[in-house]
Amino acid sequence: MQREETIKDGILPIYNTIIFEIKMQRKKFYFFFIITILVVVLMGYILVLIPSNLLADTYVEFFSGGLTFIRFITLFAACLFFSGIICSEFDKRTGFIVFPKINKYKLILGKYLGNLVLVVSIVAIYYFLLAVFGIWYYGPVLNIRIFYSFGFAVLYVIMLSSFVTFFSSFLKNVNVTIILTLIILLIGFNIADSFVTLFLKDAFEPLYSLIYLGNLITSILQNPFPNPRYEEFSFGGTGPGGMGGRFTIGNWITPSIEMGITLFVVYIVVFFVLAAYLFKRRQL
Amino acid sequence: MMKRKIKFNILSLSLLSIIFFGTLLSAVSASTIYQLGLTKSTEEYTVIQYDDAGWKATINPVSNPKVFFQGDANVTDAKSKQTIKGWVDQTYTTYDALLSLYFSLFEYITWNNFKTNLTAAGYDNITINTAYNNTYDAWYGLSAEWWFTDGIYKEKPNNTASPIIIMKNPSDYKLILDNCNALINEILNNTAIDPSFKVLFNSFANKTADDFLWQLVFYGFGVAQPGADYLNKVVSDLACVNTTASGSTLIFERTGVTDYTVEVSYGSKGILSTFVVKNVGDNIIYEITSSNADWIFFTILISFIAVSVAIITYVVVRNRKLKK
């Protein structure tokens, strides 16, 4: 009985924080909710209205095409929802309270879970609406790989959130955290990936790149799974006598499923451990 | 208050533009006498009934429904499906129509095998289109097709480019048939062409209107809306002898071991809806019907909207109560 009460006392503050955080962030949620609906309606309805724009052959291919913007939405959502988790406590100086009414780790955990619920809800709405449009065009032919894709999308959100939370743990300002994480995720990783593929070609897979890992969300839908996962396009040879130089552009399509899952988990653990460590140090 | 108004206006404008865009697209496709009924969706076909003994006694002792449809079409409860992927406006020349509408597969292969002889004799696409210079406007639809199976469907379709051809003017079928028949007769009477080829070619001269229409049914023949008027016009213009149109159904009177009828119905989308083979005693030997999952989509959509409205109403009412 006493043990049950201890557990309840331990969980209740987290639960209350989750509810409070959800209420606090509801305007952001409404914004992303509307954006999600507009994007899915555009991809799944408006574009399909154009007769010459051919519908994909199968439900899964339709789904894969419709998921084009899921990574943008999750990326922006992660940056906007999770950027203030830790740094806002120090920005507003609540993180320096010596005798807080609630354990600071429970507070951070509650805030994180509250935001995670909202972002995962946005992803779920995206998948749900796309699935509904798919049923309209193809009938009820749900495929297990769509659920795998959703699983990877959730893992991707958790990974991005851990990355943003990590930055939030040592940066001073929410806006700086948003801008910096957006720049790194949107531009930094893409530039790095381009350089790595250009110079090292198939010798080095860009597994360091969080953006590259996100390719698993759509590539898991392909049957068979892409193999080989590295492809090259060559062009040229049109000089005198057809002897011109040849140019080759390489592209890493996707990480393998096993490696992808492993790296998702590794990055999540590493970023959270670092965030917790920096948060603890910051309070000292 | 002002902010709310602006938000409401933006939302209204977005919704209106979506509706306007949809209406505009419908209006574009509705600019002729007959309208296109195709929509991007999936139709599922099920073999409701197959009487093998009846088939063999009536149609052919050594055949089965596989002569008409691919896959396990001779198995009761077998299913197939067709997903309409899109369509474009297409203008056929007589040469295009000859190859893609008039010829059966065997005839097409024969033509291709003797293409060099025909070109040498002056029958290439340029000369044919100059002599028979009509053009025929059509809607050319593309669909993905899963053949009949008594198990579960393969993930990928058996045919990703199955055509649906709908002439905008139903009278064009008559024009195509007349032009192609005249062309074939001209070739057969041409002394410059190898006589051995002519012997082979002779078998498909002078296609009758009934045979032409029957062949088209299995070549992706589609119907514009209103379907009953369109079919009636096709049949009357072609002056079919053994084929009649009744509503949105084509009724073919054919002869195998004994006489039999085939009733082919077309739905609101303009593609095959039911296919029924009956013997002289009007007993059904073979029947295929179609269905779609539109109702599932609308059920989910209505439920989603209802739940959303209920949640919003609940939140708004609760907030108002709390404010009071």
> What does the pLDDT read at residue B58?
95
A chain contacts of residue B300, beta-carbon cutoff 8 Å: 132, 135
pLDDT of residue B19: 54
In the prediction, which pLDDT does B138 show?
96
> Three-state SS across B95-133?
HHHHHHHHCCHHHHHHHHHCHHHHHHCCCCHHHHHHHCC
Q: Which of A23, A48, A58, A64 to mutate to test the interface with B (most CBs of B within 10 A)?
A: A58
Report whether B271 contacts B288 (CB < 8 A).
no
The two three-digit tokens of residue A38, written as one number: 């507009």
Residue A135 touches chain B, beta carbons under 8 Å: yes
- Determine the pLDDT at residue B113: 78
Cβ atoms of residues B209 and B241 within 8 Å: yes
What is the C-alpha separation between B316 and B201, in angstroms, rounded?
78
Is residue B36 classed exposed, middle or buried when 0-12, 13-18 and 19+ CB atoms within 10 A define those classes?
buried
Phi, psi (deg, nearest 5) at residue B170: -60, -20
Work out the minimum CA distance from B183 to partner chain A, whole angstroms: 33
* Dist. CA B275–CA B277, nearest whole Å: 7
| pTM of the predicted protein model | 0.86
Chain A residue with minimum CA distance to B15: A38
Nearest to B85 among A54, A136, A143 (CB): A54
Task: Express each pLDDT in A59-91 by its tens digit.
Answer: 999 999 999 999 999 999 999 999 988 887 776
Query: Where is pLDDT greater, at A72 or A249?
Result: A72
pLDDT tens track for A156-209: 999 999 999 999 999 988 999 999 999 999 999 999 999 998 888 888 999 999
d(CA B169, CA B191): 36
List of chain B residues whose C-beta atoms are within 8 Å of the C-beta of residue A56 = 85
- List pLDDT tens digits, range B256-309: 999 999 999 999 999 999 999 999 999 999 999 999 888 888 898 899 889 989
Nearest partner of A264 among A141, A171, A176, A154, judged by Cα: A154
Q: With an 8 Å Cβ cutoff, are B42 and A52 in contact? A: no
Q: What is the pLDDT of residue A280?
A: 85
Q: What is the reported pLDDT for B205?
A: 66
A189 touches chain B (CB under 8 A): no
Judged against a pLDDT cut of 80, whether residue A58 lies above it is answered with: yes
**Side-by-side strand order, sheet with B249-255:** B159-167, B135-149, B79-93, B42-50, B284-291, B272-279, B259-266, B249-255, B243-246
B86, B294, B301 ranked by CB distance to A132: nearest: B301
Would you tell me which residues 21-40 of chain A have a C-beta closer than 8 angstroms to some C-beta of chain B? 38
Residue with tokens 């203030």: A84
Query: Which of A49, A55, A57 shows the shortest C-beta gap to B25?
Result: A49
Residue (of B276, B242, B202) closest to B54 by Cα position: B276
What's the confidence (pLDDT) of residue B75? 96
Of chain A, the percentage scoring pLDDT greater than 70 comes to 90
pLDDT at A57: 95
**pLDDT score of A10:** 78
| Beta-carbon separation of A132 and B304 below 8 A | yes
Q: Please, which pLDDT band fits residue B3 given cuts at 50, 70 and 90?
A: low
pLDDT at B16 over 80: no
Contact A250, A195 (CB under 8 A): no
Confidence check on the interface: ipTM exceeds 0.90, yes or no = no
How does pLDDT run across B24-50, given as a tens digit for each residue?
Answer: 554 444 445 899 999 999 999 999 999
Q: Which of the four pLDDT bands, split at 50, 70 and 90, describes residue A20?
A: very high
What are B235's two structure tokens?
Answer: 């049949």
Looking at the predicted structure, is the pLDDT value of residue B13 above 90? no
- In this prediction, residue A244 carries a pLDDT of 64
pLDDT, average across residues B17-26:
55
User: Between vectors from CA A271 to CA A269 and to CA A272, what angle results, nearest 5°?
Assistant: 65
**A57 Cβ partners below 8 Å, 6+ apart?**
B83, B85, B144, B156, B157, B160
Between CA B180 and CA B95 the distance in angstroms is: 9
The reply to whether residue B296 touches residue A139, judged by beta carbons under 8 angstroms, is yes
Q: Which residues pair with B289 in a beta bridge?
A: B46, B274
Residues of A numbered 213-242 whose beta carbons fall under 8 angstroms of chain B's beta carbons: which are they?
A: 223
The nearest alpha carbon in chain B to A135 belongs to B297
pLDDT of residue A249: 83
Is 80 exceeded by the pLDDT of residue A7? no
Residue of A nearest to B300 (CA): A132
Q: Put residue A3 in one of left, alpha, beta given phi > 0 → left and psi -120 to 50 → alpha.
A: alpha
CB contact under 8 A, A138 and B42: yes
In this predicted model, what pLDDT tens digit does every residue of B213-242 receive, in sequence order?
999 999 899 999 999 999 999 999 999 999
Summary mean pLDDT of chain A: 89
Contacts of A53 in chain B (CB under 8 A): 86
Quick: pLDDT tens for B53-101: 999 999 999 999 999 999 999 999 999 999 999 999 999 999 999 888 9
- Determine, for residues B25 and A51 on separate chains, whether the beta-carbon distance falls below 8 Å: yes
Q: Which of B40, B142, B296 is the closest to A135 by Cβ? A: B296
Taking the CA of residue A217 and the nearest CA in chain B, the distance in Å comes to 19
Give the model confidence (pLDDT) of B153-175 as tens digits. Answer: 999 999 999 999 999 999 999 99
Residue B241 per-residue DSSP state: S
Q: What is the pLDDT of residues A218-247, one digit of tens each?
A: 999 998 899 889 988 877 666 666 566 677
Q: Which residue in the set A41, A55, A60 is minimally distant from B83, CB to CB?
A: A55
Q: How far is A246 from chain B (nearest CA, A)?
A: 34
Q: How many CB pairs below 8 Å do chains A and B form together?
A: 69
